[in-house]
Amino acid sequence: MNSQGLIGQKIGMTTIFVDDGRAVPVTVVKTGPCPVIQVKDEARDGYQALQLGFEQLPERKVNKPQQGHQSKAGKGYFRKLVEFRQADNKEHEVGQELDCELFHVGERVKITGTSKGKGFAGVMKRWNFGGSPSSHGHHKVHRAPGAIGQCAYPAKVFKGKKMPGQMGNKRVTIPNAEIVDIRKEDNLILLRGQVPGAKNSLIMICKKG
Widest CA span of the chain, in angstroms?
72
The answer, yes or no, to whether residue 85 has pLDDT greater than 80, is yes
The answer, yes or no, to whether residue 77 has pLDDT greater than 90, is yes
| CB-CB contact of 6 with 98 (8 Å) | yes
The answer, yes or no, to whether residue 3 has pLDDT greater than 50, is yes
User: How far apart are the C-alpha atoms of 46 and 175, rounded to whole Å?
Assistant: 27
**Amino acid identity, position 152:** A
**Residue 209's pLDDT is what?**
67
**Residue 89's pLDDT is what?**
72
Burial (CB count <10 Å: 0-12, 13-18, 19+), residue 207: middle
User: How far apart are the C-alpha atoms of 113 and 10, rounded to whole Å?
Assistant: 10
How far, CA to CA in Å, does 26 sit from each of 16, 146, 207?
7, 40, 19
**Residue 164's pLDDT is what?**
96
Q: Hey, how many other C-beta atoms are within 10 angstroms of the C-beta on 193?
A: 17
The answer, yes or no, to whether residue 37 has pLDDT greater than 90, is yes
User: How far apart are the C-alpha atoms of 71 and 67, rounded to whole Å?
Assistant: 6
Q: Which pLDDT band holds residue 138 (cuts at 50, 70, 90)?
A: confident
Q: Which pLDDT band holds residue 1 (cuts at 50, 70, 90)?
A: very low
Positive or negative: CA dihedral 114, 119, 123, 126: negative
Phi then psi for 121, rounded to 5 degrees?
-130, 150
pLDDT tens by residue, 155-164: 899 999 999 9
Domains located in the chain, CATH noted: 5-120+173-207 (2.40.30.10), 121-167 (no CATH)
Beta strands in the chain (DSSP E): 5-17, 23-30, 34-40, 49-57, 77-85, 97-98, 108-114, 120-121, 165-166, 171-183, 188-192, 202-207
**Residue 108's pLDDT is what?**
95
Per-residue pLDDT, averaged over 44-55, amounts to: 91
pLDDT tens by residue, 167-181: 999 999 999 999 999
pLDDT tens by residue, 174-206: 999 999 999 999 999 999 999 999 999 999 999
Q: Record the pTM.
A: 0.83
**Lowest mean pLDDT segment, chosen from 31-40, 82-91, 107-116, 148-157:** 82-91
The mean predicted confidence, pLDDT, of the chain is: 91
